[in-house]
A and B are shown apart, each in its own frame.
Chain A
Amino acid sequence: MNNKDGFTSAFLFRILVAGAALLLVACSEPAKELPVNTRLGGDFTLTDHNGERFSLSSLNGEVVILFFGYTHCPDICPAVLARVSQVYRNLKEQGEADRVQPVFVTFDPERDTAEHLREYLPWFKADIIGLTGDVPAIQKVAEQYGVVFIKEDGDSGEADFTHSDYIYLLDQQGRVRKVYPADFNIDEVVADVKTLL
């Protein structure tokens, strides 16, 4: 982790506490073969940013970076989107992105319609597939991946979501091979992706 002046130690501490379990898992692995996570994951079908039905299994043969969020979230979600995009662009520069696909699933289908995702995502220049759908369908996907989200009425009069924000690395068979916290190390993910290509 590259430490920056802007970070307070309190913030770092919070991140460490929140991500402690994950970091321990990450550190104890000698970066060889990533174990298959049998507790999380699975295929699902939602609607993509073009309004078409989209199944995760249609990406078999590609390494997927799967993450959740919503576009009305200003603090962590754009940061995660930017970092995932950076991973993708780094891989692309190295000529390794042909079989890598970032996939973003919204918690907020009411506001994150296919059309809105289609306008929002290309800005990140990472060929991200945006997925939306009805609330029960998204809820089910979230459960499969152990993602928690709770809709709340924000102070601004707009809905906010309390949510977990982990990032999932899926292999070419769609199996979860690693889970990262929101402040993941970009180089680590790039290296992990390459082990699955």
Chain B
Amino acid sequence: MLKRFFSAVSRTVSAVLLVAASAGAVADVRIEQAWLRAVPPVSPSMAGYFVLVNDTDEPVVLTGARAEFAGMAMLHDTSTDGEGRRSMSHLKEVTIPAGESLAFTPGGRHLMLMKMDPVPEAGETPKVCLAFQNHADLCGAFQVRHNEP
């Protein structure tokens, strides 16, 4: 009785492991840890962050972004000089080498959404899509939140 129970458990565990292993083995490009910083509804813009994982054998070139609720979406970089001054610049393209990942984090690279209608609220998970030079668009649910996950 106990033996049968354990063998059932072990079969289940193996099956789960197998599924997990095969899911991990699929070579792909994916968006992880995607979120948007919650801002007041009268805000003209909001920033988004994510990690882009390139599990393929080829470099991918990220070129832009779009979202239905935003009239304009861009990739930006924030740089800080030696005196603590920050400035933003437009990232026209970013290459993620094969097998690597690239993080967009507060105070650094970020997704910049403008001309929003409506401005998504904390708790919502609007869809944002990333565009590439050599890969199909990737879309993901970006969680709107007040603080970094």
Contact = CB atoms under 8 A, between A and B. Distances in A.
Given A11-B105, A75-B110, A181 B84 contact: yes
Contact of B105 (A8, A124, A152, A163): A8
Contact of B85 (A7, A156, A162, A183): A162
A65 B137 CA distance: 44
Contacts of A166: 84
Size category of the binding interface on chain B: 35 or more
B47 A75 contact: yes
A4 interface: yes
A120 B87 contact: no
A120 to B, nearest CB: 5
Interface of B: 33, 37-47, 49, 51, 72, 74, 76, 78, 80, 82-90, 103, 105-108, 110, 112-114, 146-149
Interface in A83-103: none
Nearest to B147: A82
Interface in A153-173: 154-156, 158, 160-166
B86 A78 contact: no
Contact of A75 (B76, B114, B149): B76
A191 interface: no
A97 B85 CA distance: 31
Contacts of A162: 85-87
Contact of A155 (B33, B45, B85, B89): B89
A148 B39 contact: no
A167 to B, nearest CB: 12
A165 B81 CA distance: 12
Given A15-B107, A19-B84, A183-B107, A120 B147 contact: no
Interface in A165-197: 165-166, 181-183
A197 B99 CA distance: 54
Interface of A: 4-8, 10-11, 14-15, 17-19, 71-72, 74-76, 78-79, 82, 111, 116, 119-121, 123-124, 148, 150, 152, 154-156, 158, 160-166, 181-183
Given A74-B47, A79-B107, 20 more contacts: A6-B103, A6-B148, A6-B149, A8-B103, A11-B107, A14-B80, A74-B39, A75-B37, A75-B76, A78-B38, A78-B39, A82-B147, A111-B44, A123-B39, A162-B87, A163-B87, A164-B84, A164-B85, A165-B86, A166-B84
Which of A6, A82, A165 has the most chain B CB atoms inside 10 A of its CB? A6
Contacts of A18: 80, 82, 84
B72 A75 contact: no
12 contacts: A14-B80, A17-B82, A18-B82, A74-B45, A79-B107, A119-B42, A120-B42, A148-B83, A155-B89, A156-B112, A158-B114, A165-B84
Given A71-B44, A119-B40, A183-B107, A164 B148 contact: no
B85 A163 contact: yes
Closest 6 CB pairs of A and B: A155-B90, A162-B87, A123-B40, A74-B45, A74-B47, A75-B47
